[in-house]
Amino acid sequence: MEGLTALLLEDLGGSLNSSAKDYGERIRDAAARMDQMIQELLSYGRLALMALQPQPIRVSRLIKDSVSQLAWDLENRQAQVHIKKSRNQVLGQYAILVQVLVNLVSNAVKFIEPGKNPEVTIRDEKRDGFVRIWVEDNGIGIAPEHQSRIFRIFERLHGRESYSGNGIGLAIVEKAVTRMNGKVGVESAAGQGSRFWFELPSHVVPEQAESVQEGEEN
């Protein structure tokens, strides 16, 4: 539907009046949103079925690769991303954790007041056998009474006319982290930004191996 509508607008756009063009663009946009929602639902469904085999993952690499995937969007939104240096490792599945962090950073730069440049800080800390990774922003924030809803599938706090999305991204984050024996949460207040976090079991690196790792990264 999306492809055929795009061809219609490109090939016959000159013979269509303004109303017909508007209808065509609405159809194309609606089809694109539906395609995105289907892909996100498939991702959410696969998380419940796939076998996960946690492996040691360097948090520094996870953050670097996730931010790299968002390079165009971050530049387009003129976002500033501050990354705190990490020496920690977690146990998880790399590809899924990249998607988790991509979803959180995408939200951090999207839910921002008009005319304000996004500013995001990504850091981590060790907590009783776990590593907690924080994604902190200067966005619109979330009132306390709504914070328990946001990790449910299809939950949206704002209309699409204000902020795009299908209400599936944070549900994917929660499902993925839970399946890797972790937890997710948020600290926020309306108008004061948000501090999302997820934590996973820590992988303890022997001192000798850690020295080798530092040499490779330098």
> What residue segments make up the domains of the chain, in order of their start?
2-49, 55-201
- DSSP letters for 164-218: ---S-HHHHHHHHHHHTT-EEEEEE-TTS-EEEEEEEEB-PPPHHHHHHHHHHH-
Q: How confident is the prediction along the chain (218 residues), in pLDDT tens digits per residue?
A: 778 778 878 887 778 888 888 878 788 777 776 776 666 666 766 666 677 788 999 999 999 999 999 999 999 999 999 999 999 999 999 988 999 999 999 999 988 988 899 999 999 999 989 999 999 999 998 888 888 788 877 566 654 555 555 668 888 899 889 999 999 999 998 888 999 999 999 998 765 455 445 555 55
Tell me which DSSP letter residue 156 carries: -
55-201 under CATH 3.30.1600.10, yes or no: no
Output the pTM of the full model: 0.74
Burial of 33 (0-12, 13-18, 19+ CB in 10 A): middle
